Homo-oligomer: A and B are copies of this chain.
Amino acid sequence: MNVLTSSRIAIDPAYVERLIMETAAFGAYGETGVWRTVYSPEWVGATDLYAKWCEEAGLAVTRDAVGNVWGRLEGSEGGKSIVSGSHIDTQRPGGRYDGTLGALAGLIAIKALKEQFGQPKRTLEALSLCEEEGSRFPGTNFWGSRGITGRIAPGDAEALKGYDDETMADAMLAIGLDPARIPEAKRDDIDAFIELHIEQGPILEQADLPVAIVDAITGIRHYDVLLTGVQNHAGGFPMDLRNDPAAGFAEIASGVINTAHRMGRPAVTTVGRIVPWPNLPAVIPREVRFTIDARHPNPEKRRELYAAHEGLMREVAARRGLGVSWEHHVEHEPCLSDPGLVKTFQQAAREQGVPFMTMPSGAGHDSQQMAAIARVCMIFIRSKDGRSHTPEEFSSMEDIVEGIRVLAAGLHALAY
């Protein structure tokens, strides 16, 4: 046991800012945006830099079969690893913080612990996950953490088509990764995974707090809905004789949004994608395709929410003489953080004098994948105006440094 207490942990704001800004240069989009999809040239540049910084910090660098970068600080007592990181890919465009901040935070925290406390008893690893956003290949979310947990099925890389019509396998081969070797990325020697991430919502800002300890990740389901009616001329067809899928869609969208609103926090339901066909002003559409993204961290409430949404879709379609069908391309059960880790990081925040709250995450995160093989916990950093997935996302350097101090203090408690 190192005699120094973790209350002495120092994090250099200038170093943190340099790492954030230099990483953001890879895929820079406008003044503050980043467009860095998995396996792109920008992504290769950012991961090379991450590996270089790990080496400079004295960590042993390895890259696995899906392109995750690991920086390992061996513990004197061996055993399973304590890992901290997040994903290094972005939305198109996203900002500088979503994902990237957590990958850098793991590296910065472990570097600080090594410099200030020497070798740990337990092995610590910093991790840059290759992909989480699904922004190049819809349906590939969590490619990095799914690789680590052995959840990428044979043939997935060949089957998954990107927005630009290439497959995941093509994209891997183009940068020298062999899709046949994906199973080698699997790990079974991780004890705990701690992910620092921006909040992506306004709750911390509203509460005037820099940091949260996350006790659960919400359950998510995406409905990809097809609502079909009868295409007709907008002028000639009386309202009472229409089978108008736009009318049905509007009623359904209003209804599901109101259902989540009335259920109250933390229920959320979003209709983000709407594609009518033929999408012309003077034509009653033949069909409307749309998505419903519906989330709740409580398994029972989540079932209630989904039952209400499905009941409304069936009722509106039947009443309006429309066809309705849906698929789920995204389905993630709620994920509870490990209660022991939650306590450890709450205590770490108290020791560091960092004011915090405990809250569930409304967004999905790599942690929910990692939970299949390890105990998990997350730390949230306050987001300006609650914004994310946009170039405007922003967290202050003060809040970021507070969060990394909490991360480092918790890792110290676990590993030293």
Contacts and interface: CB of A to CB of B under 8 A. Distances in A.
Given A270-B244, A280-B272, A362 B236 contact: yes
Copy count, this protein chain:
2
A interface bracket (residues with beta carbon within 8 Å of B): 35 or more
Contact of A199 (B201, B202, B224, B236): B236
A24 B193 CA distance: 67
Contacts of A270: 234, 244, 246, 281-284
B362 A235 contact: yes
A218 interface: yes
Interface string A247-282: 101111110010011000111111111111001111
A358 interface: no
Interface stretch (A46-54, A121-129, A381-389): A381-389
Interface string A219-257: 010101000001111111111110010110111111001
Contacts of A387: 230-233
A386 B257 contact: no
A200 interface: yes
Nearest to A265: B238
B293 A364 contact: no
A94 to B, nearest CB: 10
Nearest to A260: B239
A235 B361 contact: yes
A288 to B, nearest CB: 8
A44 interface: no
Given A246-B272, A247-B253, A281-B330, 4 more contacts: A233-B387, A250-B257, A270-B281, A281-B293
Interface of A: 91, 199-203, 206, 218, 220, 222, 224, 230-241, 244, 246-247, 249-254, 257, 260-261, 265-276, 279-285, 288, 291, 293, 295, 330, 361-364, 383, 385-390
6 contacts: A222-B282, A235-B362, A237-B362, A244-B257, A250-B253, A272-B281
